[in-house]
Amino acid sequence: MIQLKSPRELETMAAGGRILAATHQHVKPAIAPGVSTLELDAMVESFIRSHAGATPSFKGLYGFPGSACISINQEIVHGIPSAKRILAAGDIVTVDIGVHYGGFHTDSAWTYAVGAIQPETQRLMDVTEASLWAGIAETKVGNHIGDIGAAVESVVVKAGFSVVRDLVGHGVGAAMHEDPQVPNHGKPKRGPKLQVGMTIAIEPMVNAGGAATRTLADKWTIVSLDGTMSAHFEHTVAITDDGPRVLTTLG
């Protein structure tokens, strides 16, 4: 069932989303060769908890051990922070963060370059971010969930990359994962209708090679099957009378 949020609840989510955006700003300068993903995770956790009433949504969610999911290169999602995972120049790293505040979750992921990266890797990141914004632009009353996925997919396919189909965006609110599912592919005017008060996490995951995935033996980390690089950009977005409102932003 889709849970619609009141204007007051949206303001609470926006407050949590601001903390989340500030957390990304806080870790970004630390992303450099030689840093472990566990160090980044510790920064995420302490920064979130430094805001009264805010906690990291992912810590313990379904048993996940970290505060952030931190995924390197061919890892798409759900990388477990580790002292043994050290960033190197040329890597890309996705930091996926959830914040619980005032009874509501928000969810936002960003892929960052570690030092200098290959131009094709930069293009993968740029296309994935552009596909997120294309999806957000369709997040308005009168459209359907399928309009979002179609917009995302169109940007990615034109660029010659692959949308991951095994993983989807989702409604977000009192629970981290609510209805509806928000696939990164689809057909316009198909799927649930977008209504004022819906809050959804739109999160294109894009592989440089094929779309196929597999899960590693740690039972968490999902990687591209062909080992090619993967990027992931995510915002929590509300549908309002005035169009899409990105909640996971400093603005």
Residues whose CB is less than 8 angstroms from the CB of residue 147 and which lie 6 or more positions away in sequence, other chains included:
138, 186, 188, 189, 194
Mark 191-210 with x for binding to Mg ion (rule: CB under 5 A) and - for no binding: ----------x-x-------
Tell me the window of 35-43, 79-87, 96-104, 211-219 that interacts with Mg ion (CB under 5 A).
Answer: 96-104
| Beta carbon of residue 204, minimum distance to Mg ion (angstroms, whole number) | 11
CA dihedral 22, 174, 164, 83 (to 10 degrees): 50
- Between 9 and 96, name the residue whose CB sits nearer to Mg ion: 96
Q: Which of 41, 45, 91, 96 binds Mg ion (CB under 5 A)?
A: 96
- Six-digit token string for 48: 């979130």
CB atoms within 10 A of CB 222: 22
What are the strands, taking DSSP E only, across 114-185?
A: 162-163, 169-171, 178-182
Helix (H/G/I), strand (E/B), else coil: 133: helix
Helices then strands (H, E): number in the chain? 4, 15
Confirm or reject binding of residue 107 to Mg ion (CB under 5 A).
yes
Shortest approach of Mg ion to residue 68 CB, angstroms? 9
Q: Provide, rounded to whole angstroms, the least separation between the CB of residue 72 and Mg ion.
A: 16
178 binds Mg ion (CB under 5 A): no
Which one, 201 or 211, has the nearer CB to Mg ion?
201
For 200, the 3-state DSSP assignment is: strand
* The one segment of 9-17, 31-39, 101-109, 147-155 that binds Mg ion by CB under 5 A: 101-109
Q: Which residues are at the interface with Mg ion (CB under 5 A)?
A: 96, 107, 109, 201, 203, 234
